[in-house]
Amino acid sequence: MNLVVIPLEGVSQMLLWQYREAMPAIWRLANQSTSFRRFYSASTSAFQSFCDFVHGDSSELDHNLSYPSGPGCLLGRAGNLFGILEEQGYAVMGSQHGETCPEYVRGNCFGAWPEAGGRFRWHGEYDAFYAESLAFVKRAAAAGQPFALYYCDRAGTVADNCLEKRDSRLFHQRFEKGFSLLDRSVERMLAGLAELGLLGATLIVLYGPYGMDPWKHGVFAGRTHAIEPYADVCWTPLLFYCDGRDIQTIEGLASSIDLKATILGILFPGRDFGPAPGRFSGVNLLTSGRNIAFTQNLFALEQENAGPALGLVKSYAATDGDLRLIVNSDGGIAGEGGMEFYYDVRDPGNTRNLLDFFELDKNGDMASFGRSDVVHVHFTQSFKPHLVRDMVSAYNGMRDTLKQLAKAKEGEALRHSANQSRRLLFHDSQFNLKRRRR
């Protein structure tokens, strides 16, 4: 079976619904696919997300002290998905389209897939991007060789400034135009595969590497790209399409680090490609599940407030698919660190920190549930005693899990770092405080 992976860069679950009229081809495909309703990206930026996907491991980059450029940035413990497929006889290629993109993103595509060489191509013009992608498919088919194509149109991202978006007068029009152009890429690839008679023999995976937040979380008054792991950034679509087979919606949790193992499980049932999965590696969603999905916004040892991380503190998040707990380092700013707790399914924009309704003791445990003098019935119906008890239980479990993750992330990264004396950013104090967002 062939493979085409189409990242829906910039598309969160919220934006998929909000701009659904701009993405008819994607919605038609969704209605003929296996869809994971609770899929979360393991990181919140382009390069990290690409690396999470192809390596199936969220720790490959954690030892980097700054945002890397080019080869040599990987731990190299987990094999690259496309490298494995090439070893199995696949023709492989990566193709990306974007009018404008920082050089570090272009270079890092090769850093995450150093074996790709000239087979990972960047195109400034859409027609050249599509033509070369389809030409690759034709060559592989003519040679009787299965193919694996990473087909990425970055038109849906805010940063992309392609010519077709520049006539948009208002911000939301530019946003919608980008999604429309992304939808065009999906539709044309499906049509091209159908014309070649290859659609029925191709597994098509659409996934959201990260969503776009239009600076609504208030970081530095909204002037910086707030890529902290809120739901509207990391709750994204995941679709598996194979000629209309296995149409279903799956409610179980899924993470972007699970894609590699799941794709290999579909293409090679029963095969083990090793190495043994580590603590931060993904699972085959066909045979395994997960109770918690994690997301990070920076590498474990990456310096905050520098380079592409300008204006950002380090954040980790855990979600059980209903509730989300985020912990933030203080970034060297007194009072900045602490936790945020959100009800994702009712508040997908993560606008109300539920911890504001609780008093925390010195250990960060929920000491009491506070109610103001004026309480509307909508509030009392949502915060009945048994519901509050469930919320407290979920908070306690996620806080313990997230604390262990943060320490394990940094501890593992330090073991592979040249600077083993680096100060750890997360301490118990961050897990004892509410965070008051700027």
Q: What is the phi/psi pair of residue 74, to 5°?
A: -95, 150
**Percent of the chain topping pLDDT 90:** 50
Q: Write down the pLDDT at residue 240.
A: 96
> CA–CA separation, 401 vs 267, rounded Å?
33
Least confident of 111-115, 240-244, 340-344: 111-115
Residue 162's CATH number: 3.40.720.10
Q: Write down the pLDDT at residue 104.
A: 46
79 falls within a domain: yes
Q: Which of 161, 119, 179, 2 is nearest to 187 (CA)?
A: 179
Structural domain range at position 85: 2-294
**Tens digits of per-residue pLDDT, 138-166?**
999 999 999 999 999 988 887 666 667 77
308 falls within a domain: no
Q: Write down the pLDDT at residue 325.
A: 96
Position 396 confidence tier, pLDDT thresholds 50, 70, 90: very high
Q: Which of 83, 122, 127, 124 is nearest to 105 (CA)?
A: 122
Tokens of 159: 């940063």
Least confident of 161-175, 223-237, 354-368, 395-409: 161-175
Residue 82 has a CB neighbour count (10 Å cut-off) of 24
Asked whether residue 401 carries a pLDDT value surpassing 90, the answer given is yes
Q: Residue 330: which residues within 8 A CB-CB, separation 6 or more?
A: 313, 336, 337, 430
HSE of 359 in the Cβ direction (CA atoms, 13 Å)? 7
Q: Write down the pLDDT at residue 100.
A: 58
Asked whether residue 101 carries a pLDDT value surpassing 60, the answer given is no
Q: Write down the pLDDT at residue 330.
A: 75
Residue 90 and residue 172 in one domain = yes
Question: What pTM was computed for the model?
Answer: 0.92
Q: Write down the pLDDT at residue 225.
A: 58
318 falls within a domain: no
* The dihedral formed by the CA atoms of 340, 223, 168 and 188, expressed in degrees to the nearest 10: -50
Q: Residue 168: which residues within 8 A CB-CB, separation 6 or more?
A: 174, 176, 177
Q: 3-class SS at 19?
A: coil
More confident residue, 132 or 414: 132
Q: Is the alpha carbon torsion for 57, 322, 234, 228 positive or negative?
A: negative
Average pLDDT over residues 234-246: 90
Residue 283 and residue 414 in one domain = no
Tokens of 251: 């409610």
Residue 102 and residue 148 in one domain = yes
Q: Residue 148: which residues within 8 A CB-CB, separation 6 or more?
A: 2, 3, 4, 5, 81, 82, 85, 86, 90, 91, 92, 93
23 falls within a domain: yes
108 falls within a domain: yes
Domain boundary among 279, 294, 309: 294
**Tens digits of per-residue pLDDT, 363-374?**
899 988 876 667
305 falls within a domain: no
- The domain tally of the chain equals 2
Residue 358 and residue 248 in one domain = no
Q: Which of 278, 280, 272, 287 is nearest to 256 (CA)?
A: 280
**Tens digits of per-residue pLDDT, 51-84?**
999 999 999 999 888 877 667 788 887 789 999 9
Distances (CA, A) of 210 to 29, 47, 65, 299, 362: 20, 10, 22, 16, 35
Average pLDDT over residues 183-203: 96
Position 85 confidence tier, pLDDT thresholds 50, 70, 90: very high
Position 90 confidence tier, pLDDT thresholds 50, 70, 90: very high
87 falls within a domain: yes
Domain boundary among 241, 274, 294: 294
Burial class (CB in 10 A: 0-12, 13-18, 19+), 53: buried
HSE of 216 in the Cβ direction (CA atoms, 13 Å)? 13
Residue 118 and residue 247 in one domain = yes
Residue 86 and residue 203 in one domain = yes
Q: Which of 357, 437, 366 is nearest to 395 (CA)?
A: 366
Distances (CA, A) of 160 to 98, 156, 189, 344, 374: 6, 7, 20, 28, 47
> CA–CA separation, 159 vs 319, rounded Å?
28
Residue 290 and residue 144 in one domain = yes
Sheet holding 202-207, edge to edge: 120-123, 91-97, 147-153, 2-7, 202-207, 238-241, 34-40, 248-255
Q: 3-class SS at 366?
A: strand
Q: Write down the pLDDT at residue 70.
A: 67
Q: Write down the pLDDT at residue 107.
A: 52
Q: What is the phi/psi pair of residue 239, to 5°?
A: -130, 135
Q: What is the phi/psi pair of residue 151, to 5°?
A: -120, 100
Residue 268 and residue 345 in one domain = no
**Tens digits of per-residue pLDDT, 254-299?**
999 999 999 999 999 988 887 667 889 999 998 888 999 999 988 9
Average pLDDT, the chain: 86
Task: Check: CB of residue 111 under 8 Å from CB of residue 179.
Answer: no
Residue 284 and residue 342 in one domain = no
126 falls within a domain: yes
Residue 250 and residue 334 in one domain = no
> CA–CA separation, 134 vs 136, rounded Å?
5
Q: Strands (DSSP E) along 208-292, which ranges?
A: 238-241, 248-255
